[in-house]
Amino acid sequence: AQTIHQWPVAEIKAVGSPLSLGCTIKGKSSPNLYWYWQATGGTLQQLFYSITVGQVESVVQLNLSASRPKDDQFILSTEKLLLSHSGFYLCAWSLPGSSYEQYFGPGTRLTVL
């Protein structure tokens, strides 16, 4: 069975500090991977997607970047956090070649102070 793990579970960071969030998927080969962001009380927005190692496409510009260093790993990062980066970050996957149904990880709650 496939499992999706995100780390850390929660993070409190200062404005201007760097950030790195991670996601790993086990039990599925070559999944499509996605990063989403949900501001408190806000709409779920897709940030990035990746269909293969080393290839990441940006969907929404939020001064964030993403990388896929391994088939089962997706990283979201920034060098300088903004207050507006606070929210719930979710990693998701879908079957290769099928992008419709997406399965979400447990998420990381980020608070920027």
- Residue 54 DSSP code: T
DSSP 3-state of 83: helix
Q: Choose which of 49, 66, 68, 85 interacts with other proteins (CB under 8 A).
A: 49
**Residue 75 CB contacts under 8 Å (≥ 6 apart), including other chains:** 20, 21, 22, 23, 66, 67, 68, 69
Examine residue 8 and tell whether it contacts other proteins (CB under 8 A): no
Examine residue 34 and tell whether it contacts other proteins (CB under 8 A): yes
Buried b (16+ CB within 10 A) or exposed e, 86-107: bbbbbbbbbeeeeeeebeebeb
Examine residue 42 and tell whether it contacts other proteins (CB under 8 A): yes
Cβ at position 65, least distance to other proteins in Å: 17
Number of residues that bind other proteins (CB under 8 A): 23
Examine residue 37 and tell whether it contacts other proteins (CB under 8 A): no
What is the contact surface with other proteins in residues (CB under 8 A)?
32, 34, 42-46, 49, 51, 57, 59, 90, 94, 99-107, 109
